[in-house]
Amino acid sequence: MANIYETIKEIRREVVLNNESTLNYNADKFDNQLLEQIEGICFSKQLTKSFSVDEIKFIVDTIFNQMRRHDVIEPLIKDGSITEIMINGSNQVFIEKNGVIQETDVVFESKERLEDLIQNMVARVNRSVNEAEPVVDARLEDGSRVNIVLPPVALNGPLVTIRKFPEKPMDIDDLIRYESITNEVAVFLEKLVKAKYNIFICGGTGSGKTSFLNALSSLIPKDERIVTIEDSAELQLLSIKNIARLETRNANTEGKGEISMKTLIKTSLRMRPERIIVGEVRGEEALDMLQAMNTGHDGSMSTGHANSTLDMLSRLETMVLMAAPLPLEAIKKQIASALDIIIFLTRLRDHTRRVLDITEVVGYKDGEILLNPLYLFEEMGESKNGKVKGCLRRTGNSMVNKSKAKQRGVELE
């Protein structure tokens, strides 16, 4: 393999030298020209004497991907069945496929090649990462989410985690097909969205929060104006025409120019939104999100990390306290007033992503936020192949807050 990488270096140097002033590597129309030149140089060197046909193809593809794509992980990015790519230094790449994490035989030519890839990734979305600021969130051109951690924080070399998203955004029919929800629940959720209830989606890492938010957002009436606010733009609301997409910005090397989620939420209120969709709340921006929901922006949605519905409420209380030292009673009243519905997702032991409960937030009394469970997941054993059997069941509790539905002419029951 060492001999192959030496050949790759030699040919790449020749390609760069031959085209320094004539080939614009930033223009897609030159891709075919570049590929032809790489193949031509390989042919002129008579590589068939030293390498097999498959090895020559590997050399050509590697050089092209290094110069125009994502180096050795390009095939993994193109593979639609892979949902996550985890790079632990230049010599170890893991993937998640069909819910299972497995190691690949993919390795980078050198640590420098991985570092070059990282710098190209962040530069394309106007971000930077270095030893002084070794952690950054970015995204690929297709919307895939990228997290990067560099040494000295990362002890085993540069760490890159890529969360891939399907080419076609997930819709409500996909959720039914994957058995995350039932037809009955899908109809109920569509009514909630049309009636402009404020919905909060929570769950653990990899539970499908963003995909679920995409699916719910596809139910929003096409004539509404939507503002989305995200750390790294991931939402794919293709059905909405009047949409304003906002993305945070990190500070520059001088520590200036940061635009936070909190700032964007405040800015969005002046953009005449009918709904505000916050990709994920992690900190003090939670207060601004709740205030936006409480000031006429019904139908807003957001997501957050939590292990249960109750845990999410506790986390929201903590996040609001990060923004302002308010009395806990005032915070709980604010949460109870802003949120209408909380949906909790999880990954079960068979790696499937399911909705475990849908709960109505009905108010505040005696120091507690009152909850009304509407749907709960009922497990009914396992199949022979280990798949968990079960589905969401109605609890028998009726919606308490029907005023929004009545106001908009939606019959919930």
Q: How far apart are CA 329 and CA 334, in angstroms?
A: 9
* Residues 266/247/235/340 CA torsion (nearest 10 deg): -20
On the question of pLDDT at 185 being above 70, the answer is: yes
Predicted confidence at residue 19, as pLDDT, reads: 62
Counting residues of the chain whose pLDDT is more than 90, the rounded percentage is 45
DSSP string, 323-356: H----HHHHHHHHHHH--EEEEEEE-TTS-EEEE
Strand bridging mode 199-203 / 353-365: unpaired
Residue partners of 332: CB distance under 8 A and separation at least 6: 317, 364, 367, 368, 369
Counting residues of the chain whose pLDDT is more than 70, the rounded percentage is 96
- Tokens 């125009």 map to which residue? 68
On the question of pLDDT at 169 being above 60, the answer is: yes
pLDDT band, residue 253 (cuts 50/70/90): low
Predicted confidence at residue 2, as pLDDT, reads: 53
pLDDT of 118-131, one tens digit each? 998 898 888 889 88
Predicted confidence at residue 345, as pLDDT, reads: 96
Predicted confidence at residue 340, as pLDDT, reads: 96
Q: How far apart are CA 141 and CA 260, in angstroms?
A: 22
pLDDT of 294-352, one tens digit each? 877 899 999 999 999 999 999 999 999 998 888 999 999 999 999 999 999 999 888 88
Predicted confidence at residue 400, as pLDDT, reads: 93
pLDDT band, residue 1 (cuts 50/70/90): low
Instruction: Say which residue, 3 or 27, is predicted with more confidence.
Output: 3
pLDDT of 66-118, one tens digit each? 887 888 899 999 898 898 999 999 999 999 988 789 999 999 988 998 999 99
Predicted confidence at residue 386, as pLDDT, reads: 80
On the question of pLDDT at 389 being above 70, the answer is: yes
Instruction: Say which residue, 363 or 127, is predicted with more confidence.
Output: 363
Predicted confidence at residue 29, as pLDDT, reads: 60
pLDDT of 46-77, one tens digit each? 776 778 888 888 888 888 888 878 888 999 99
Predicted confidence at residue 334, as pLDDT, reads: 93
Predicted confidence at residue 145, as pLDDT, reads: 87
Which H or E run contains 150? none
Q: List the 275-278 sheet strands across, edge first.
A: 243-247, 226-230, 275-278, 301-305, 199-203, 341-347, 353-365, 368-382, 388-394
pLDDT of 23-39, one tens digit each? 444 555 667 777 888 88
* Nearest residue to 115 (alpha-carbon basis) of 127, 132, 130: 130
Predicted confidence at residue 22, as pLDDT, reads: 47
Q: What is the mean pLDDT of the chain?
A: 87
Query: Taking residues 276-288, what's their average pLDDT?
Result: 89
Peptide bond into 152 cis (omega under 30): yes
Residue 14, Cβ density class (10 Å: 0-12 exposed, 13-18 middle, ≥19 buried): middle
pTM over 0.85: no
Predicted confidence at residue 150, as pLDDT, reads: 95
Residue 292, Cβ density class (10 Å: 0-12 exposed, 13-18 middle, ≥19 buried): buried
Q: Is the dihedral of CA 14, 15, 21, 22 positive or negative?
A: positive
Question: Are the CB atoms for 354 and 377 separated by under 8 Å?
Answer: yes
On the question of pLDDT at 216 being above 60, the answer is: yes
On the question of pLDDT at 238 being above 90, the answer is: no
Instruction: Say which residue, 46 or 172, is predicted with more confidence.
Output: 172
Question: Are the CB atoms for 68 and 31 separated by under 8 Å?
Answer: yes
Tell me how far CA of residue 217 lies from CA of 222, 243, 360, in angstroms. Answer: 10, 12, 19
